[in-house]
Homo-oligomer: A and B are copies of this chain.
Amino acid sequence: MASYQKALIAVDLSQESNEVIERGLSVANGCQVSLMHVIEPLTFAYGGDIPMDLSEVQEQLQNQAQDKLFKLASDNGISVDDCQVVVGQPASEIHRIADESDIDLIVVGSHGRSGLALLLGSTSNGVLHGANCDVLAVRVHPSD
């Protein structure tokens, strides 16, 4: 079986994102790689019933996320043209981008949670289900 053609590495911008990218690049082994981060909209987090305009804060968050993502990309030899920050529900957005771009490998970080966190769900779990391609969950080891 040939190896992968197009890999999508999705990071949460935590300190462990570098580990996930390095591992993804190693498995992708020279194939085309793109990098993404998904921001959940503030209205998701705050229920949307607060009478204030969050659009400016949202824009600041997106700009900050983009700066971080570009830094990670440049540290790992990925072009900023292959980076994107999108707003939405992480697993859905990762699936959407993967489908649109004919991705054959999605790489995400996994904290190896079990028990309660399993019930609450996690991004790596959400990404695995419903993905139309292979998914590599990179086990990260948070320092704390």
- The residue on B at minimum CB distance from A133 is B139
A64 → chain B closest CB, angstroms: 26
- The residue on B at minimum CB distance from A3 is B26
B139 touching A110, Cβ below 8 Å:
no
Q: A112 in the interface, Cβ–Cβ < 8 Å?
A: yes
Q: A131 in the interface, Cβ–Cβ < 8 Å?
A: yes
Residues in A lying within 8 Å of B, measured CB to CB: 1-3, 19, 22-23, 25-27, 29, 110, 112-114, 118, 124-125, 128-139
9 contacts between A and B (CB under 8 A): A1-B19, A2-B26, A110-B131, A112-B132, A113-B129, A114-B129, A134-B138, A135-B139, A137-B137
